[in-house]
Structure 1
Amino acid sequence: MGLDLRPMGKPKTGYEKRFHQIINIIEGKEKQELSFFDKIKGKKIKTKDELLKEWNNIQISPLETIKAPKVGRDFDANAWLMKAYFKSDKSLSVDEFKKKHNGYYVISYAPEVDGVPVYNSPIEDENSFRGQFLKDCVDLIGEELVNEAWGTKFSGKETLDYGLRLMNIADSIAEKEKLEYLKEQRDAPDSSPETIESKLHIVYSLAKWMTFYGKNGHGFEAYF
């Protein structure tokens, strides 16, 4: 299957402490504790599923951060839906089709393109990054930086730090090889995967992805 990088939600304002506390509890780094008054009130230790539900409820989706239009809320998404309906087999009525897709985010319409990479996963959302491509970049940036992508980062600060380190080494290589133009080029270069151009473009793309989500407070999950 290989490595896919999924952007995580970020805590809503006022829930930062609880957001990270739940992560620590799930990972076994922190224990749940009930106060004397909690016990009197009949509160119980939460199950993992209950903790995950709470965690999801106190976060902002990365799909909101990339400003992806949402069906049922945004004009562009609703227009996309009608195009999709007329291309469908029309086994559902228009109202049924709208109801089925209500709340769907149209990622391809998102204006924050640094959060929607060219090197995305074929089995994940379009704003995920196909981290497995980094395996081809070991000879360019070294094993340490490549292998770091296989470790989930729960905070935006850690994600931003990783992204900036990737960007720094990419800038250094680009200057040395006279490939500075790749930094602003969105589409993959028209060259074989073995070339420095192709590998450096992957690193730049991931660096932009990491710094975008990191500076906006999102971590990422390394899924493999």
Structure 2
Amino acid sequence: MTRTDRLYALVEELRAAAPGRRSARWLADRFEVSVRTIERDLGALQAAGVPIWADAGRTGGYAIDARHTLPPLGLTVDEAFAITVGLGRLATSPFRDAALSASRKITAVLGAEEARRAAALAGRVHLLEDADRGGAPDHLARALRENRVLRIRYRDAEGRETGRDVEPLGFIGKGQDWYLVAWCRLRGGVRAFRGDRVVEAAPTGERPPARTVRAEDLEIPYGTLRPLSFE
């Protein structure tokens, strides 16, 4: 069994045992390697962000939070390369932290040769971007996921700043720019806020009412909206 296969298998074994635990000795016997090898593998998975923790003591062991993990995927070099390129495009998006964490996890579970080849391919891809574009502040993506009203300070194209409470409805990506689509309580309608112009964002804890947004409500003067799809 290669190290890559063993890392996949370790996660699957811990998922199957959850919420129970497996000792390093038990895992070492199961995969026919040393305890030190198992501890090194589990350390690599933890460093990559896999939610594994250890309890000390005679009845302790390693456990995984199965609610916050997905079954491991057997990625080819081309698949890992494509995912790396896609994640790299999110560097200025509201999802940049999650994208960086996901990229590290992919690298951690690839074999050494596969990781080297994927990195070599990714090194030959460059993104042409505007140097003055900043990133969106924290809480934008989280507010959508957690369905919370946001209190933002927004700077428009003329440099004027306003404070407003908004109800996140979704995101639109156009090139390097990401727009938060939200119901603006100040304006009483749907607005799109460019991420790098949101100076501050803080969740209020309030859950907004259910709303439906239509493409025609956005008044986008150019381009065609394409829903994100994996089909």
Question: Which is bigger in relative contact order (C-alpha 8 A, separation at least 6)?
Answer: 1
- Which range, TM-score by smaller chain? under 0.3
Structure with bigger strand share is: 2
- Give me the TM-score of the superposition, normalised by structure 2: 0.25
Structure number with larger C-alpha Rg? 2
